[in-house]
Structures are given as C-alpha cells and as structure tokens.
C-alpha cells in the first residue's frame, strides 16, 4: 500500500507545476490540493457569477419591472385579490364576527394598531381622506402596488393612480370597522414594514 501510494504521489506530482508539488496531499479516497491557487480562482469566479446574476435596484427600475400599465388593468380583475386580502387581514388581526375596534384606553389597542400598520396592503381598498394636494382627496381604489414612497390604486374607472404616502391620510375599512392611517408612517417597503418595530400610528375612524 505504501509503495502504491508513493508511486501515485510521484505520478501526480509530475502533473503539477513544480512550485505547487509540495502541496499535493495523497488521501486514500481522493487527492486534493491543500493551497492550490486554481481552486481559489474557481471559487472567486463562482462568487462573481452569482453576484452578476442579481439585478440591482437601479437596473430593476430601468427595466420597468416595478411599473404597472395605467389603463390596461380592469377593476374587476383586481376584485379576487381584494377577496384574498379580506381573508388575510382577518387572520392577521385575529378578528371574529362582531369584533369591535379596541379603544385607546383598551389594553389591546397598542398591539392591534401595530398589527394594522404592518399589514400588507396589496389588495386593500383604500381612500384618500386628506392630502396636501387637493386633487388627490376622495380618490379610492384597490391597492395593486405598495412601494416605499407611493401606493398605486386601481379605481373603478379602470385607471391606476400613483398616490404619495407622505402627502396623504388614508381610510381603510375592515368588515364593519373603519380606520385612518397616516401615510407618512408607511414610508417603508412592505417586507421591511412587516418586521420593523413600529410605534402607534393608527387611530379609530371617528
């Protein structure tokens, strides 16, 4: 066995460039290069290839992957999304038939309001109650896109409108409960908002 290993070492060593021959290690199961520069280069190439396969946010936006057509979507096509959202929100808020909004003095109010702000709004029916831009007031529709700074609402006239969050106060209805949500506190991506520690920014609609 030792003789065979010695012959194998000599054979393999002859195949390796001279200054790397001292790094050849003979193993009963396989042969490896302990510090081969070729292996390091292969790993670095794989890392570069993996990075290059991922689009940056700027490239994502340049390709138009975060945009929606303004006049090619039908309101009726978004209704199934809204029905799914209604089931999701009841499960998320742990609501039952006949439940009422916890009042400010109620011990459940803080937890309930945090859950409400963390909601994924895709599919929710929203209405602009107040805005610094008067032309945005009373606009309503189903939310078809929620980004860091804007909401895109699909109205009954089949038009998608871009609503800046920070400029508006939104109305949201869940069953027989209505809420006002200040858009300036929604200025965060939905995925980040769902895990971020958030203060109380919601109040019952009076």
Contact 126, 150 (CB under 8 A): no
- CA–CA gap between residue 176 and residue 31 (Å, rounded): 71
pLDDT bin (cut points 50, 70, 90) of residue 83 is very high
Contact 180, 196 (CB under 8 A): no
Name the DSSP class of 55: -
* Residue 106 backbone phi and psi in degrees, to 5: -75, 140
* Long-range contact set of residues 58-61: C-beta below 8 Å, sequence gap at least 24: none
Point out the least confidently predicted range of 15-19, 56-60, 64-68, 119-123: 15-19
Choice between 174 and 64, residue whose per-residue pLDDT is larger: 174
Q: What mean pLDDT is predicted for residues 133-145? A: 93
3-class secondary-structure state, position 36 = coil
Q: What mean pLDDT is predicted for residues 90-101? A: 72
Handedness of CA 150, 152, 155, 159 (dihedral sign): positive
Choice between 61 and 38, residue whose per-residue pLDDT is larger: 61
Rounded to the nearest integer, the mean pLDDT of the chain is 75
- CA–CA gap between residue 198 and residue 171 (Å, rounded): 19
- CA–CA gap between residue 166 and residue 195 (Å, rounded): 20
Name the DSSP class of 121: -
Q: Return the pLDDT at 201.
A: 46
**pLDDT(46) > 70:** no
> Which single residue is written with the structure tokens 């109380």?
200
Structure tokens at 25: 């290690």
Give residue-wise pLDDT tens across range 10-28: 666 666 666 665 665 655 5
Q: Return the pLDDT at 12.
A: 61
Give residue-wise pLDDT tens across range 169-192: 999 988 778 888 888 888 888 878
Provide the CATH topology of domain 69-195: SH3 type barrels. (2.30.30)
Q: Say which residues have a Cβ less than 8 Å from residue 70's Cβ, sequence separation at least 6.
A: 159, 160, 161
Q: Return the pLDDT at 167.
A: 86
Q: Mean pLDDT highest for which of 21-25, 91-95, 122-126? A: 122-126
- CA–CA gap between residue 79 and residue 102 (Å, rounded): 28
The domain segmentation of the chain, as residue ranges, is 1-30, 69-195
Q: Which of 131, 128, 125, 113 is nearest to 201 (CA)?
A: 113
Name the DSSP class of 44: H
**pLDDT(159) > 80:** yes
**pLDDT(204) > 70:** no
- CA–CA gap between residue 33 and residue 88 (Å, rounded): 55
Point out the least confidently predicted range of 57-61, 91-95, 98-102, 199-203: 199-203
């Amino acid at each position: 066995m030792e003789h065979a290993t010695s012959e194998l070492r000599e054979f393999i060593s002859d195949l390796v460039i001279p200054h790397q021959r001292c790094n050849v290690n003979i193993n009963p199961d396989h042969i490896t290069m302990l510090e081969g520069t070729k292996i390091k280069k292969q790993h670095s190439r794989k890392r570069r290839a993996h990075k290059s396969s991922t689009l940056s946010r700027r490239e994502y936006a340049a390709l138009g992957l975060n945009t929606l057509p303004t006049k090619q979507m039908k309101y009726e096509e978004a209704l199934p999304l809204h029905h799914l959202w209604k089931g999701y929100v009841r499960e998320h808020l742990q609501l039952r038939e006949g439940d009422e909004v916890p009042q400010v003095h109620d011990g459940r109010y803080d937890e309930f309001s945090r859950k409400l702000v963390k909601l994924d709004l895709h599919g929710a029916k929203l209405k602009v109650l107040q805005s610094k831009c008067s032309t945005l007031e009373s606009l309503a529709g189903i939310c078809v896109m929620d980004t860091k700074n804007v909401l895109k609402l699909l109205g009954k006239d089949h038009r998608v409108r871009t609503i800046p969050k920070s400029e508006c106060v939104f109305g949201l209805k869940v069953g027989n409960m209505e809420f006002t949500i200040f858009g300036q506190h929604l200025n965060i991506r939905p995925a980040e908002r769902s895990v971020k520690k958030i203060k109380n920014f919601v109040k019952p609609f009076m």
